[in-house]
Amino acid sequence: MIEGNHYFPSDSINWSYFTESAKTTACHWKGEANYYSIKVGEKTINDVAWVYKNPLEKAAEIKGFVAFYPSVTVET
């Protein structure tokens, strides 16, 4: 957990529900985040998950992990 967000290993995610969006954001210590939208049935939730594909050195441990907004329920 970093800054109130849970990060999950990318191989624990069912990527068939995800599409990469054009949205990116920048963090001064983590680097650039790439966002993903989720589509289940007819419902799409835009920009709900993000990944730091190439995090800065200070955040190297989150490379390959996916984070979700706190309002998202993650089930196993």
Q: What is the pLDDT along the chain (76 residues), one digit of tens a residue?
A: 888 888 999 999 999 999 999 999 999 999 999 999 999 899 999 999 999 999 999 999 999 899 998 777 767 6
- The predicted pLDDT at position 61 comes to 94
Ordered structural domains, the chain, with CATH: 7-68 (2.170.150.40)
- The predicted pLDDT at position 40 comes to 87
- The predicted pLDDT at position 1 comes to 85
- The predicted pLDDT at position 76 comes to 61
Q: Among residues 66, 65, 53, 61, which one has the least CA distance to residue 26?
A: 53
Q: What's the distance, Cα to Cα, between the start and end of the chain in Å? A: 17
Please name every residue paired with 38 in a beta bridge, in sequence order, or none if there are none.
18, 45
Cα–Cα distance, 44 to 54 (Å, whole number): 26
